[in-house]
């Protein structure tokens, strides 16, 4: 687990440097953020996720087929696998870069803009990639830019949002992510097989998403005196956050990993589940691909609703752990519904329940993890390390799911296993002591 104290971090997060210079950028926020600021954060998340998921859902596959119809699966696996590996590194790395930034525009804004520009430029270049090697390299650059922007905008929330408002804003950000995924799907569908045009539209969405935040960001400059001296060894050591010293951080990382692994196991083989277990074409006259679209849309609508409602409810209650535990349990219940009722109505209910649980989880768990960060000086890096628990399940879930589907009982055992893994995430939340 990429879970020490940030080298050189000041003992008092509001005061730093040899001259004890006040560092407003490191103080715990107390003033509620304005709606326009929240809207800027939401739009950045919309742009990033549109730029991610338009290619991932359709465009990269179409481009892979254009290079070789026979080898399209292998090409797509190579490109997306390389991009996923880059995302594991880019998120904490750019978070750490933003922590140390002393620009007059603040710590986060330069990296949001840089990431968006890099990602958009790479998307545009990807439209004309001459071969698979160039396609792979350019998708890795898209991942680098988008993860850089995401690391910075995520860290901006605990920088600027007071704790009593944090789940509400986190829920709005989660809503933005889900809307971005839907927009990416719409873009991919609208270009009707012209993947080059799709990349251009995704690039435009990414750049448009950062405009409002750039002008209404309220980012605070970090004084140079507040930044600890740089050393390569110290910078590298900073990515290890000791579970013994910061147990709440470690438990938050583990619970997020488990819940996301369970969620990915549910969605990974959804197309094949509808085709081979539900038999939607024979029973309902529905093409499995259309069934996936229906279930994904239903899931997304529920995520959008419950991320906002769950975040507001958590802030009003002043509680995080109960809602995280309940929402994790709801996610597990969705897995069991699919295991017990492998039918089209069962799939509709399961997708709805999964969206209800995961939307609330996204909002409230985000607020919880911002309250277990070791130091204000390293918020970006530490959130980047926590975000590995979002990316790593994309690698782990297929490895765990495959033997269940092929060797150990098929989809029933797969979804029961997903429920058990998700419930472990709920159980371990009680280990977090510093947050109610």
* Rounded Cα–Cα distance for residues 262 and 414 (Å): 10
Confidence label for 397 from pLDDT (cuts 50, 70 and 90): confident
Kindly state the average pLDDT of the residues 75-99.
90
Instruction: Look at residue 17 and tell me whether its pLDDT is greater than 70.
Output: no
pTM: 0.85
**Could you tell me the pLDDT band of residue 292, with boundaries at 50, 70 and 90?**
confident
Which domains are seen in the chain, by residue range?
Answer: 22-240 (1.20.1250.20), 241-436 (1.20.1250.20)
Mean pLDDT computed over 236-257: 91
Q: What is the pLDDT of residues 109-150, one digit of tens each?
A: 999 999 999 999 999 999 999 999 999 999 999 999 999 999
Of the given ranges (8-12, 272-276, 371-375, 419-423), which has the lowest mean pLDDT? 8-12
Q: What pLDDT is recorded for position 23?
A: 65
- The model's pLDDT over 167-191, given as tens digits with 9 standing for 90+, comes to 999 999 999 999 998 898 888 878 8
> In terms of pLDDT, which residue wins out, 331 or 6?
331
**30-71 pLDDT, tens digit each:** 899 999 999 999 999 999 999 998 898 788 888 998 998 888
């Amino acid at each position: 687990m990429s879970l020490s104290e940030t080298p050189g971090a000041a003992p008092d997060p509001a005061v730093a440097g040899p001259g004890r210079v006040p560092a407003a950028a490191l103080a715990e926020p107390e003033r509620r953020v304005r709606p326009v600021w929240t809207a800027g954060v939401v739009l950045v998340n919309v742009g990033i996720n549109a730029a991610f998921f338009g290619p991932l859902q359709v465009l990269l596959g179409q481009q892979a087929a254009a290079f070789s119809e026979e080898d399209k699966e292998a090409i797509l696996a190579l490109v997306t696998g390389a991009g996923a590996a880059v995302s594991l590194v880019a998120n904490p790395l750019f978070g750490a870069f933003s922590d140390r930034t002393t620009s007059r525009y603040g710590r986060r804004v330069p990296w949001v803009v840089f990431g968006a520009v890099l990602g958009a430029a790479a998307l545009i270049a990807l439209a004309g990639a001459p071969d698979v090697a160039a396609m792979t390299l350019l998708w890795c650059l898209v991942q680098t830019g988008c993860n850089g922007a995401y690391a910075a905008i995520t860290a901006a929330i605990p920088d600027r949002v007071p704790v009593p408002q944090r789940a509400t804003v986190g829920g709005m950000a989660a809503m933005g992510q889900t809307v971005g995924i839907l927009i990416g799907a719409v873009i991919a569908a609208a270009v009707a097989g012209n993947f080059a045009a799709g990349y251009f539209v995704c690039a435009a969405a990414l750049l448009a998403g950062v405009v409002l935040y750039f002008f209404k960001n309220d980012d605070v400059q970090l004084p140079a005196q507040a930044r600890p001296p740089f050393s390569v060894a110290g910078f590298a050591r900073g990515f290890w956050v000791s579970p013994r010293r910061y147990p709440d951080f470690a438990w938050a990382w583990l619970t997020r990993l488990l819940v996301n692994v369970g969620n990915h196991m549910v969605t990974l083989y959804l197309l094949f589940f509808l085709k081979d277990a539900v038999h939607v074409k024979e029973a309902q006259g529905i093409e499995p691909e259309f069934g996936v679209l229906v279930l994904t849309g239903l899931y997304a609508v529920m995520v959008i609703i419950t991320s906002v409602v769950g975040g507001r409810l958590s802030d009003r209650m002043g509680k995080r752990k109960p809602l995280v535990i309940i929402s994790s349990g709801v996610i597990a219940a969705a897995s069991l519904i699919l295991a017990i009722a492998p039918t089209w109505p069962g799939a509709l209910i399961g997708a709805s329940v999964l969206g209800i649980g995961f939307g609330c989880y996204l909002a409230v768990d985000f607020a919880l993890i911002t309250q277990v960060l070791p130091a204000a000086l390293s918020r970006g890096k530490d959130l980047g390390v926590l975000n590995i628990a979002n990316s790593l399940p994309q690698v782990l879930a297929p490895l765990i799911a495959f033997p269940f589907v092929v060797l150990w009982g098929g989809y029933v055992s797969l979804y029961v296993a997903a429920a058990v893994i998700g419930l472990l995430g709920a159980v371990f939340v009680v280990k977090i002591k510093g947050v109610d």
